[in-house]
Chains A and B, each alone.
Chain A
Amino acid sequence: MPTISELLAALPAEQDRPDLSSLPSASCESSFQALTDRIAHRRTPTGMFARTCSVTGLTAKLALAYGAYWIRSWYKTGDQQQQDLLETHLRSALQTLETAGYLRGAFAKLGQLAVCAPDDTLPAAWIETMSRLQFQAPPMHWSLIREQLRNEFDDPDAIFAEVDPTPIAAASLGQVHIARLVSGETVAVKIQYPGISRAIRSDLRALKMLFRPFQSHAQWQGLRDLFDELQTGLEAETNYQQEASNLQTAKDVLEHDEQIVVPNVFPNATTRRVLTMEFLQGEMLESFLTKNPTQETRNHYGRLISKASYELYRHHLLYTDSHPGNYIFMKDQRLGVVDFGNLRRLSEREWDFHLAVNHARKTNDQGAIRQLCQQSLLMSNEDADRHSTHLDVVVKMFDLLNEPILFEGEFDYGDPTYLQRGGELFSQASKSRWVKQIPANLFAHRMNFQIPAVLLKLKCRVNMPDLIRECGMIR
């Protein structure tokens, strides 16, 4: 482990820090355009060396940027600290955006994760730049799409009668086109960028190498477990046959509800790199909101979004792809749920833990709740004493997440203070030096923050106790 003095020596000097005035800010449209143009002209590097350099460079920059802030903050006043933090966030957002555009794949996925974070967890500049990344991923031209189809199917013409060359959506790992099958059905075809799966593996290997110096750290095992969880999840997302299987699993769970629609998969037109699904006609959230839906309609869709997630959870599945682009607001008040790249099944042991958590919540047993939070952080009693502040924050987060469930009546997800409080706790938790936790928490946290973030955008109210009674209690 490097010493503090070594870290300080490695920090960029003040004069080496980028001139922020030369960097585009989220509010400066023309400069932002220049940045996105630069990214659009940069292509995905395929070599391990080039990719390692990029990832290493980015990670080192981010680590140094935050390291600089952290160490300097010991000596600064509150106002100055706030200013420095904002600058650090902005620089990091821009650097992440540049590299995300460059490496696509894994970082685009992480970029999307950031978009779903509560508004106050990350600064507005970050959210803004990442939102643009989510919807302005560099497109694949039609000839590249066609080559991918030829690569995947011996004779794509025998499967697809027609493919619209213009994509309808950019996915983090590819893009989506409308097509018509030879058998006549209109379908949505998700096509992956060539080599992206290999690129992600290469990125993860590079990141793993970066973590090596921390092997002797007391929390190394916990870090490695979290990393392995992230790796498994990302790798699963690159396999569209796995996603097809997840779609079927979700469909089996949700098909009893006529108002929640999971698209059918066409297995003969699906491979590891191409996923062909039934095309669901409808609107995305942004477009849906421009029509000023009534509060009743908003509540209806909010309830369906919550219900889909809760039903899957009852079947031991964590739906961790809940971002606005994955919901289709269909005619007849139906909701389409389209992306299941990352459906995490809880093991029996993990489920038993969730049952214990649910029981503690129902009985409002504060002692048990604290004990379970301690377990989820993999803390011994000694650790819990030493890191009691962090444990307190996690218990508060647990209470916060339960508020909508315990609130009798319609909980107002449109009230931004709910997620702001979550953001504050999240921010406090991230300052802790305790990083260990149960690996499944990564996905549970993702789900627990993503869904309220979507519901906030929808500005809906949902009666959660009523919904839970309707679906059935967890046993």
Chain B
Amino acid sequence: MRITSAEKQATRERILKAAKTLFKGKGYGSTTTRDIAKEVGIATGTMFNYFPSKESIVVELVHAASDSGSLQSQQHGEANSLAENLFQVVANQLRQWKAFRTYFGPVIEVAFAPPDQLADYAKPLRMDVSEQLSNVLASHGVDKPSSLDMQVLWSLYVGVLTFWIADKSRKQESTLALLDQSTQMFANWISSK
């Protein structure tokens, strides 16, 4: 019996939904791929046809939660400095990814790793994030950032995400301060050249 692409998509979405519920209820660390398959009602082996690992599921969840369209419209409409624009894009991402914060570590490991260590399933998320950041730079006249520029930006970006995961301050307000500080630092770096 052939499975239609619509059925495949439906199963994929059921896996994502079940995983999200289990991660939230049991915790990411305590949830196994077997648990997810059982919740969906499929064999564990079948699930691997859809997602090669637990990490790939959480990366897909995070990617699905990213609403890049709204980011683009907002950044051009309101913010007026490079620092503020970058702040706005990353702050939006953090808000969209809030539900995954406590198990965001694996996402950083696989999606924000050096390019040569990037798994195929992580590339779409990585590309989207890179594109968002590059678009902000371009909209402020930084069309061709050097590799060092991007390295600095990327280091600050991953630093903020890592801080955010462990941020115990009320409503992660310390992350907002760090993000403000980091984006200002990067804007100063660009303008000082």
Q: Is A272 an interface residue (CB 8 A)?
A: yes
Number of B positions contacting A (CB below 8 A): 24
Q: Which of A238-280 contact B (CB under 8 A)?
A: 272-273
Q: How far is the CB of B81 from chain A (nearest CB, A)?
A: 7
Known A-B contacts A141-B83, A143-B87, A144-B87; the reply to A194 vs B78 at CB < 8 A is no
- Cβ contact within 8 Å between A43 and B185: yes
Q: How far is the CB of B185 from chain A (nearest CB, A)?
A: 7
The interface residues of chain B, by DSSP majority, are classed as helix
Contacts of B170 in A (CB 8 A): 197-198, 272
Contacts of A140 in B (CB 8 A): 180
Q: Is B84 an interface residue (CB 8 A)?
A: yes
The contact sample of 14 A-B pairs, CB cut-off 8 A, is: A41-B184, A41-B188, A43-B177, A43-B184, A46-B181, A141-B83, A141-B84, A141-B87, A142-B84, A144-B84, A144-B180, A151-B171, A198-B174, A273-B173
- Cβ contact within 8 Å between B95 and A144: no
Interface residues of B (CB under 8 A from A): 78-79, 81, 83-84, 87-88, 91, 95, 163, 169-174, 176-178, 180-181, 184-185, 188
What residue in chain B is nearest A198 (Cβ atoms)? Answer: B169
Q: How far is the CB of B152 from chain A (nearest CB, A)?
A: 16
- Cβ contact within 8 Å between B177 and A142: no
In-complex Cβ contact of A194 among B83, B163, B173 (8 A) = B173
Q: Is A228 an interface residue (CB 8 A)?
A: no
- Cβ contact within 8 Å between A151 and B88: no
- Cβ contact within 8 Å between B91 and A44: no
- Cβ contact within 8 Å between A194 and B79: no
- Cβ contact within 8 Å between A195 and B181: no
Contacts of B174 in A (CB 8 A): 46, 194-195, 198
In-complex Cβ contact of A44 among B81, B169, B177 (8 A) = B177
In-complex Cβ contact of B176 among A147, A197, A199 (8 A) = A147
Report the contact-size class of chain A (Cβ under 8 Å from the partner): 20 to 34
Contacts of B173 in A (CB 8 A): 148, 151, 194-195, 198, 273
Interface residues of A (CB under 8 A from B): 41, 43-46, 140-144, 147-148, 150-152, 193-199, 272-273
What residue in chain B is nearest A104 (Cβ atoms)? Answer: B177
Contacts of B171 in A (CB 8 A): 151-152
Known A-B contacts A44-B181, A46-B181, A272-B170; the reply to A151 vs B176 at CB < 8 A is yes
What residue in chain B is nearest A147 (Cβ atoms)? Answer: B91
In Å, the complex CA distance between A46 and B188 comes to 19
Contacts of A195 in B (CB 8 A): 169, 173-174, 176-177
In Å, the complex CA distance between A144 and B177 comes to 9
What residue in chain B is nearest A144 (Cβ atoms)? Answer: B180
Contacts of A194 in B (CB 8 A): 173-174, 176-177, 180
Q: How far is the CB of B130 from chain A (nearest CB, A)?
A: 21
- Cβ contact within 8 Å between B178 and A46: yes
In Å, the complex CA distance between A44 and B88 comes to 18
In Å, the complex CA distance between A199 and B174 comes to 9
In Å, the complex CA distance between A440 and B18 comes to 58
Q: How far is the CB of B166 from chain A (nearest CB, A)?
A: 12
Contacts of A141 in B (CB 8 A): 79, 81, 83-84, 87, 180
Given contacts A46-B181, A198-B174, 12 further A-B contacts (CB under 8 A): A43-B177, A43-B180, A43-B184, A46-B163, A46-B178, A141-B79, A142-B79, A143-B84, A147-B91, A151-B173, A194-B173, A194-B177
What residue in chain A is nearest B91 (Cβ atoms)? Answer: A147
What residue in chain B is nearest A44 (Cβ atoms)? Answer: B177
- Cβ contact within 8 Å between A142 and B169: no
Q: Which 5 pairs of residues, A with B, have the shortest CB-CB distance?
A: A43-B181, A194-B176, A194-B173, A195-B177, A195-B174
In Å, the complex CA distance between A235 and B178 comes to 21
Contacts of A272 in B (CB 8 A): 170
What residue in chain B is nearest A45 (Cβ atoms)? Answer: B181
In Å, the complex CA distance between A152 and B170 comes to 10
Q: How far is the CB of A170 from chain B (nearest CB, A)?
A: 16
In Å, the complex CA distance between A196 and B181 comes to 13
